[in-house]
Amino acid sequence: MNHLPLLQKPVVAATGDVVGFTGPIYFDRSVAVFGYDDSVQKLMHMFKYRGYSNIGRILAGRLGDVLQSVDLNQFEKFVPVPLHRLRYRERGFNQAAVIAQKLSTRVGVPVDLKILKRVRYTQPQAKMDKAQRAVNVKDAFWVKPSAGFLGSSVLLVDDVFTTGSTLNEAARVLKEAGAGEILTVTLARVELG
């Protein structure tokens, strides 16, 4: 783990030049610990597709170190990006929930697994470009109407921030449901430029 690429700026504001968006950005900041290179990509593949959940927990421990340097007082919950029920059945676990649970233990913010649902099955995005990913995840998420978190700030968790399309779409429905600040939290992020 000592040879994995650490990001120069683990916490960044969500501006178009930083996250590479041209359209609306629905989250406020992004936190990640690792750059997304071949070594990290291989670890993520083992974590997600081969069931090595310990890899996710170990990497999340490093992310927890970074999160401890961020003021989390206003954040009420971790919200993992959900898998569609068919993908969950196929994989057997949600990698974002594994990460969120580890981070919750580390920083003392609870995890809410019920507030955000994936209501539309989406195609795997690994081989899609940014535009295809945005279309693929459009209207894929739904927020529980009785969530009642008007103004609540959330930590939106996923494994990797590549184009940000999935996180941005999840953040959009959370904001529309009344969320306050949204901080995306991922193990790795593609560095632009």
For residue range 35-94, list pLDDT tens digits in order.
Answer: 999 999 999 999 999 989 899 999 999 999 999 889 898 999 999 999 999 999 999 999
Residue 112: which CATH number? 3.40.50.2020
Q: Is residue 33 part of a domain?
A: yes
Number of domains within the chain: 1
As a whole number, mean pLDDT of residues 4-27 equals 80
The per-residue pLDDT for 152 is 87
Strand pairing class (153-161; 182-189): parallel
Q: Is residue 55 part of a domain?
A: yes
Q: Is residue 4 part of a domain?
A: no
**pTM of the predicted protein model:** 0.92
Q: Could you report how far apart the first and last alpha carbons of the chain are, in Å?
A: 25
Its domain, for residue 79, covers 11-189
- Rounded distance, CA 99 to CA 157, Å? 7
**Pick from 120, 125, 110: which is nearest to 159 by CA?**
125
Q: Is residue 88 part of a domain?
A: yes
